[in-house]
Structure 1
Amino acid sequence: MSSPPADPHLVERTTGREHLLRGDFLHVVRDTVALPDGGSATREYILHPGAVMVVPLLDDGRVVMERQYRHPVGRVMVEFPAGKLGAGEDRLACGRRELQEETGYVAGEWAHAGQLHPCIGYSDEFIDIWFARGLRPGGRQLDAGEFLDVIAVAPAQLQAWCREGVVTDAKTLTGALWLQNVLSGAWNLEWQPQSEPS
C-alpha cells in the first residue's frame, strides 16, 4: 500500500484562537488560520477528548448492540457500545469500561481495528475502533440519566439495517464495514488476551 502524497500546498497554519464556549461536555473554539495562498480565515469547531467504540462478538456469531435515544436527532438509534475517553485514560481501558458499564459484558480477547473521525468539518473528535470476543455476561453500571437496551444482532441483519437506513450513526456504519471485512477474511485483526479487572 502506498502512502498519500505530501500536502503542504493544502495545509492551514493556526495563528490565533478564541474560546467561544466551555461547557460540561463541549469546548468550542474559533481559530484564525493562515491559508496556503497567504490569505486568512476563521475556523469554528469543537475540541473533543476522543472516544472508543467496541464491536463485541458473541460466540454464536451475533454482535452486541444498543438502542439508545439521542436527543440531538430526536430518535432512538441502533449503535455499537461507545464512550468518551476520560482525562488520561488508556483507550483499551476505556473500551473495557464502556463495554462492561453499558452492556454488562466483559471480554477475554481484544483487537484494535483502526480509528475514525466522525465529523471532520466541525470537530477534532476521533473514535478508536476495538473488537472484543470471548464475552462473559455480568452486571451493567449505567451512568445516571443513561437509558439503553442491549440487543444481539446477526451480522446479516446489521448489514440490512445499514442498507435500509435503520442504522445511520456514523461510527456504527464504520463498525459494520469493519465487521463485514473481518468476517469475510479480507481484513485481519491481531487478537490479544486481556484479563479483566475483578
Structure 2
Amino acid sequence: MTEHKKPELLHAEIIAQTRLFRVEALHLRFSNGVERHYERLKAGGRGAVMIVPLLNEQTLLLTREYAAGVDRYELAFPKGLAEVGETPEQAANRELMEEAGFGAHKLTRLKTLTLAPGYLSHRMDVLLAEDLYPKRLEGDEPEPIEVVPWSIDKIDELLASEEFSEARSIAALFLVRDLLRR
C-alpha cells in the first residue's frame, strides 16, 4: 500500500452559508507540486449518530418519516445530530428516545461512516442499541414519527423496498446483519 502525504492547505474560507450548510473553498498543493481548488460542504463540529435498535433477537426498529431531499416518506434507522458536549452514546440514546420511544441499556459503536467524502466532511457514528426499555422524549420533528418493527428474517424484503433507500441505513443494516450472524 502506497503511503500518501496529505496535500498542503494553502487557503480555506467559507464562501456560502445557510442554516444547515457551510460551503468551504480550499486551495491545496499536492506533494507533486500540483495545486487545486476544491469546494466541500463543511459539517458542524457536533457529529451525528445513527442507531440500529434491536427490540429483541429477531426484531429491528425502523422509523418512517418525511425526507425533504427526495420528497417522500422513507424507512430508515433513527438518527440525528449530537448536542454540544454529548458523546455518541449519549446522543444515540437521546435520539432513540425522541424518534422511537425507547432507551437502550446497551449501546455498541459499530463504525463511523462518511457519505461522499470527496466533497462532504460529514461523519456519522453507527451504534447498535440493545436491551431496550420504553422511554419517550420530546423531539424536534414536525410530526410524530412512525416506528416500524421489522423481522431480521425479512432483511431481503427490506433491502428490496423502494422506501428503504438511504445509503447509510443500508450500510448500517449490513454491519448489524454480519454482527448477528457471528
TM-score, with structure 2 as normaliser: 0.90
Map 1:1-198 → 2, pairs under 5 A: 5-8=2-5, 11-48=6-43, 49=45, 50-59=47-56, 61-185=58-182
Alpha-carbon deviation of 1:130?
Answer: 0.7
Counterparts of 2:150 and 2:77, CA distance in 1: 11
1:73 match: secondary structure: coil
Label 1:73 to 1:131 Cα distance change in 2 as closer, same or farther (>3 A): same
Q: Which of the pair is proportionally richer in strand?
A: 2
Label 1:177 to 1:5 Cα distance change in 2 as closer, same or farther (>3 A): farther
Alpha-carbon deviation of 1:94?
Answer: 0.6
Contact 1:159–1:176, Cα closer than 8 Å, also in 2: no
Larger deviation, residues 161-170 vs 62-71: 161-170
1:72 match: secondary structure: coil
Alpha-carbon deviation of 1:60?
Answer: 5.1
Label 1:6 to 1:165 Cα distance change in 2 as closer, same or farther (>3 A): farther
Alpha-carbon deviation of 1:6?
Answer: 2.2
Alpha-carbon deviation of 1:110?
Answer: 1.4
Counterparts of 1:42 and 1:64, CA distance in 2: 43
Question: For residue 13 of structure 1, what is the amino acid of its counterpart?
Answer: E
Alpha-carbon deviation of 1:21?
Answer: 2.1
2:55 match: secondary structure: coil
Alpha-carbon deviation of 1:146?
Answer: 4.8
1:131 match: secondary structure: strand
Label 1:5 to 1:92 Cα distance change in 2 as closer, same or farther (>3 A): farther
Summarize deviations over 1:120-179 as a string: whole Å, max 9, x none. Answer: 122111111111111112324221525421111112333322245442211101111111
Stretches of structure 2 that go unaligned for 5 or more consecutive residues are none
Q: CA RMSD in A?
A: 1.8
How many residues align structurally? 180
Contact 1:101–1:140, Cα closer than 8 Å, also in 2: yes
Counterparts of 1:104 and 1:140, CA distance in 2: 7
| Identical residues among aligned pairs (%) | 22
TM-score, with structure 1 as normaliser: 0.83
Contact 1:104–1:141, Cα closer than 8 Å, also in 2: no
